[in-house]
Amino acid sequence: MKAGEGDVLLAEGDPEVAEDERRLVDEFRRQLDLGMWAAVPIADGARREAEVVRDFSEVPRDAERVVFYPPAAGG
Amino acid sequence: MSVDTSELRARELMRAVAPARECAMYAELGFVSVEGRSGGRYAYLIYPHRPLLAYETGSGRLLSEYCVRFRDEGDRLPDADDVLARWLAIRGRERELIATANVNRPGHQIDPDHARRDLRRMREWIARNSDVD
C-alpha cells in the first residue's frame, strides 16, 4: 500500500525459480528495510485471515501475495 | 490517479485479503469491526482515518479510543487501504499497535452516540447477513 496511490505491484514471480526467488527476497528485504510491515493473506476454506511475516522464510511457498503496509504510530 | 480510482483499487485489495464479511460491511456501512486477541471479549470499530474504538462485544460498552496513524509522507492512504492496514495490524500486531497508540476515553474524537448507533447498525447488518463469512 502506498499513500496517495493505493496498492502497487512491487515484484512478482515463482519462488520455485531461483532467479524469481532472489528478486522476491530482495524486494521483501527492501520493503522491511524501509520500515514497512508485511502480512500474507491466508484462506482457511471460505474464511480469509492474514498472518504477519517478518522474514521471507515465513512466507508460505504457495502464497499468492505479500501485502506491505506502513507501520503505525500514535496519531 | 483520481481518489475514486485509488479507492476502487484499495477495495479490490481488501476483497483479496480480508474476510468477505468485513469487506461487505465496509462497503455497506463504511466501517468494520474486528475482534481483539482476547477470545472475543472486546473488539474494535475501524473507521478510515479515525481512531480505533474499542468496545465490549457483550454489552456494547465503549472502552477507549486508540489514536493511530500510518506513515504517509504527506499523502493519505485511500480509505479502504487505511481500514485494511488497521485490520491487518490488529490481527497480526495488536500489542504493537496498541502500544504505539495515543489512548483516550470514548468521545475524544468519535461521538459516542454515533458509535452506539453504528454498533446497532452493525448488529442489524450481521443479523441480515449471517450467511456472509
Rounded to whole angstroms, the Cα distance separating B100 from B129 reads 34
State pLDDT tens for residues B13-70.
Answer: 999 889 999 999 999 999 999 998 877 899 999 999 999 999 999 999 999 999 998 8
Q: Which helix (H) or strand (E) holds B126?
A: helix B112-128
Q: How far is CA B24 from the centre of its chain?
A: 13
A8 vs B: CB within 8 A:
no
State pLDDT tens for residues A16-73.
Answer: 999 999 999 999 999 999 999 999 988 876 677 888 999 999 999 989 999 999 888 7
Q: Give yes or no for a contact between B116 and B60, defined as CB atoms under 8 angstroms apart.
A: yes
Nearest to A1 among B5, B81, B100 (CB): B81
B1 vs A: CB within 8 A:
yes
Query: Residues 50 to 69 of B: which have CB under 8 A from any A CB?
Result: 51, 67-69
Q: Give yes or no for a contact between A28 and A59, defined as CB atoms under 8 angstroms apart.
A: yes
Q: Quick check: B88 and A6 CB within 8 A?
A: no
Structural domain spans, chain B: 3-127
Beta strands in chain B (DSSP E): 32-35, 42-46, 52-56, 62-70, 102-104
Which parts of chain A fold into alpha helices (H)?
18-33
Please tell me the pTM assigned to this model. 0.89
